[in-house]
Amino acid sequence: MHRPTQLRPTQLRPARHMSTLAAGRAGAALAAGSLLLTACGSTAVTKNSADELRGRLPAAVKAAGVLKVGSDLNYAPVEFKDQNSEAAGIDPEIAEAIGKQLGLKVEIVDTSFDKLIPGLLAKQYDMVMSAMSDNRQRREGTDDSGKQTSPGVDFVDYFIAGTSLLVQKGNPKGVKSLDDLCGHTIALQRGTTQAAIADRQIGACGKTGKPLVVHLFDTDDQALAEVATGRAVADLNDYPVAAYVAQRNQAGKQFEVASSQLQPGPYGIALTKENTELRDVLAKALDQVIRSGEYDKILAKWNVGAGAAQNAVVNGGF
């Protein structure tokens, strides 16, 4: 993230870091998606057999036969735990498809979103796939002031999503834009793209004399609970998650999406900067998954086809 917040099939949950995209919203997503085709970091579409790709895997990954994936399983429909407590959703299914291309078993390591990059840098897993937006701060490892706080990470971009405002059904406060949040309280998951958007909006609202209060939570479920009870007027979430929550919770009677997608950009698979070998293999494996048709099948299953990328891109975010 963008990242996080949303409803699990069995419980309330915040969206993160997209979902049934309407035609109008699809245009914005696809416009951003075109960047995936032209970014200077894009990978060439070449014919790489599964055996060739497996041969290019880092020795440690190949020897283990396992691709460890850090993910915050609390962000349906992108990633969540199903009724059997197994990883489910868009990201786990794409990860599994990539793993099959590489002849690797995929192991999901459930980790809270704000700890995913620290865990990656500590080599607790090989990669992060968790509705995480590819942006400059994450790539450069800087905070909002530009101070270096970590080595940064590389991304293999695989999906396009924007931020939406999720409000109570009927939108009692008439919230339709970020400026409409001024003078109100909002709730969202910490460590997400949405948290950065909210932080910038605090400054904008301050200039109007209508301060914006932001409540940050560890999970999107907690943020949604604030909106449900009226303690917050909105939750900022990735559109897929926001749409999923609005459609599923209380049969669509509790929440609604109050805006089109804001600031659409790519989700990326995060890897450490020194792990270029695995990064490049993953990009080529993802291209194969896309060309095989399996990628489109996964997105269609979760009604997020409008966010499809046409090919993998390395570090294509804004």
Give the span between the Cα atoms of 134 and 251, in whole angstroms: 33
CA atoms within 13 A on the CB side of 259: 24
The one-letter code for the residue type at 249 is N
Q: Is 161 helix (H, G, I), strand (E, B) or coil?
A: strand
**pLDDT reported for residue 287:** 97
The DSSP symbol for 238 reads: E
CA proximity to 166, closest of 267, 78, 248: 248
Write out pLDDT tens, residues 169-195: 999 999 999 999 999 999 999 888 899
User: Which pair of tokens denotes residue 76?
Assistant: 């349906």
User: Which pair of tokens denotes residue 90?
Assistant: 């868009």
**pLDDT reported for residue 48:** 57
Query: Can you list the residues of the chain whose pLDDT is less than 50?
Result: 1-35, 37-46
**Which residues make beta-bridge pairs with 74?**
80
Q: Is 108 helix (H, G, I), strand (E, B) or coil?
A: strand
CA proximity to 228, closest of 13, 4, 77, 3: 13
**pLDDT reported for residue 241:** 87
**pLDDT reported for residue 243:** 84
CA atoms within 13 A on the CB side of 169: 11
CA proximity to 161, closest of 216, 90, 84: 90
Give the span between the Cα atoms of 118 and 77, in whole angstroms: 24
Give the span between the Cα atoms of 89 and 302, in whole angstroms: 8
User: Which pair of tokens denotes residue 199?
Assistant: 């932080």
CA distances from 126 to 3, 78, 165 (A): 19, 19, 33
User: Which pair of tokens denotes residue 121?
Assistant: 């840098």
Q: Write down the pTM of the prediction.
A: 0.73
Whose tokens are 């796939």? That residue is 129
Task: Kindly tell me the number of DSSP H helices and DSSP E strands found in the chain.
Answer: 11, 13
Give the span between the Cα atoms of 151 and 274, in whole angstroms: 10
Give the span between the Cα atoms of 15 and 189, in whole angstroms: 8
Inter-residue contact 240 to 161 (CB < 8 Å): yes
**pLDDT reported for residue 32:** 43
Burial environment of residue 190 by CB neighbours within 10 A (0 to 12, 13 to 18, 19 or more) = middle
What is the β-pairing status of strands 87-88 and 153-168?
Answer: unpaired
What is the β-pairing status of strands 153-168 and 255-257?
Answer: antiparallel
Phi, then psi, of 128 in degrees rounded to 5: -120, 130
The DSSP symbol for 42 reads: B
**pLDDT reported for residue 295:** 98
Domains of the chain: 23-162+263-314 (3.40.190.10), 163-262 (3.40.190.10)
Write out pLDDT tens, residues 52-106: 999 999 999 999 999 999 999 988 899 999 999 999 999 999 999 999 999 999 9
